[in-house]
């Protein structure tokens, strides 16, 4: 236990010492953390074959996350830079909205290198490296999704009221985090929070599924501490993207 705490403390120290523009540091992981990654990732990969959208499956082939150890942010960042121009930057824990959305406009995803506790391996209410890389990291290898992340960032930077910022956050949550689309007649996951959670992948088809309409989404509350009881399903990735882009391009006028 002491060794694990020491490793985490060192990750926090290295993260706090990082400065934008410098090379990404490497982070240490224990054998227990590597084993946790291996178990969770193996389970998720099997589920993704049937329950993730085609865009995610294609992106996963390009990223090729390692199966037997926790990947370094630096190696995934190099891959994303070559594919879509996106990069990763380390931060510990959940990042406040402005500090998360601002970098997206510049093609930077702020990501924690930390690993969820073993007691939360099927569902973690807090972001961790599994969420960042299996969820967001893979999806950022898809050019269309990468551009949508950038557009969310630009819209948040130009938001001129708390009401608009709240609407943007809710829209991001119900698309990029817990978004679903119909493919081959079934709902498929495209959101990072679902794609990186065994419990969410097991349960999303049993949630209350509603048709995706932006006006309904931005009126909905967010509770990221539980598996989502209500989810919005778009007719296709294109339909979801078109609706989101129209909203963001209009300056998120409410």
- What DSSP assignment string belongs to the chain? -HHHHHHHHHHHHHHHH--TTSPPPP----HHHHHHHHHHHHHHHHHHHHHB-HHHHHHHHHH---SSSPPPHHHHHHHHHHHTS-EEEE-SSPPPHHHHHHHHHTTEEEE------GGGSS--SS--HHIIIIIIIHHTTSHHHHHHHHHHHHHHHH--SHHHHHHHHHHHIIIIIT-EEEETTEEEE--HHHHT-HHHHHHGGGSEEEE--HHHHTTS---TTS--SEEEEESSHHHHHHHHHHHHHTT---
C-alpha dihedral over 164, 169, 174, 179, to 10 degrees? 120
Tell me if 20 is assigned to some domain.
no
Model confidence, pTM: 0.94
pLDDT digits (tens, 9 = 90+) for 202-248: 999 999 999 999 999 999 999 999 999 999 999 999 999 999 999 99
CATH, residue 192:
1.10.800.10
Q: How far apart are CA 200 and CA 55, in angstroms?
A: 19
So what's the pLDDT on residue 231? Answer: 98
Q: Say whether pLDDT at 102 is over 50.
A: yes
So what's the pLDDT on residue 93? Answer: 80
Tell me if 254 is assigned to some domain.
no
Tell me if 176 is assigned to some domain.
yes
Tell me if 22 is assigned to some domain.
no
48 known member of a binding site: no
158 known member of a binding site: no
**Number of folded domains in the chain?**
1
So what's the pLDDT on residue 221? Answer: 93
Q: What percent of the chain has pLDDT over 90?
A: 90
Tell me if 23 is assigned to some domain.
no
Tell me if 87 is assigned to some domain.
yes
Burial of 211 by CB count in 10 Å (0-12 exposed, 13-18 middle, 19+ buried)? Answer: exposed
Q: Say whether pLDDT at 4 is over 70.
A: no
> What band does 254 get if pLDDT is binned at 50, 70 and 90?
very low
So what's the pLDDT on residue 250? Answer: 82
Q: Give the range of the structural domain holding residue 132, as residue numbers without chain letter.
A: 2-15+28-249
Burial of 56 by CB count in 10 Å (0-12 exposed, 13-18 middle, 19+ buried)? Answer: buried
Query: How many residues does this entry show for the chain?
Result: 254
pLDDT digits (tens, 9 = 90+) for 44-93: 999 999 999 999 999 999 999 999 999 999 999 999 999 999 999 999 88
163 known member of a binding site: no
């Amino acid at each position: 236990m002491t060794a694990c705490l020491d490793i985490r403390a060192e990750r926090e120290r290295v993260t706090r010492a990082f400065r934008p523009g410098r090379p990404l540091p490497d982070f240490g992981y224990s054998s227990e953390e590597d084993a946790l990654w291996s178990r969770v990732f193996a389970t998720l990969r099997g589920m993704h074959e049937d329950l993730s959208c085609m865009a995610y499956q294609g992106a996963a082939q390009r990223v090729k996350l390692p199966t037997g150890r926790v990947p370094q942010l630096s190696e995934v960042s190099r891959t994303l830079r070559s594919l879509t121009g996106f990069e990763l930057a380390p931060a510990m824990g959940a990042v406040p909205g402005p500090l998360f959305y601002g970098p997206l406009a510049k093609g930077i995803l702020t990501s924690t290198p930390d690993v969820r506790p073993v007691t939360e391996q099927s569902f973690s209410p807090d972001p961790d490296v599994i969420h960042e890389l299996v969820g967001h990291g893979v999806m950022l290898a898809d050019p269309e999704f990468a551009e949508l992340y950038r557009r969310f960032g630009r819209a948040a930077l130009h938001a001129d009221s708390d009401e608009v910022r709240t609407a943007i956050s809710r829209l991001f949550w119900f698309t990029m985090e817990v978004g679903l689309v119909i493919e081959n007649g079934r709902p498929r996951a495209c959101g990072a929070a679902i794609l990186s959670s065994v419990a969410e992948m097991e349960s999303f088809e049993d949630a209350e599924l509603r048709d995706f309409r932006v006006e309904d989404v931005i009126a909905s509350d967010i509770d990221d501490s539980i598996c989502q009881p209500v989810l919005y399903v778009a007719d296709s990735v294109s339909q979801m993207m078109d609706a989101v882009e129209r909203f963001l391009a209009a300056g998120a006028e409410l």
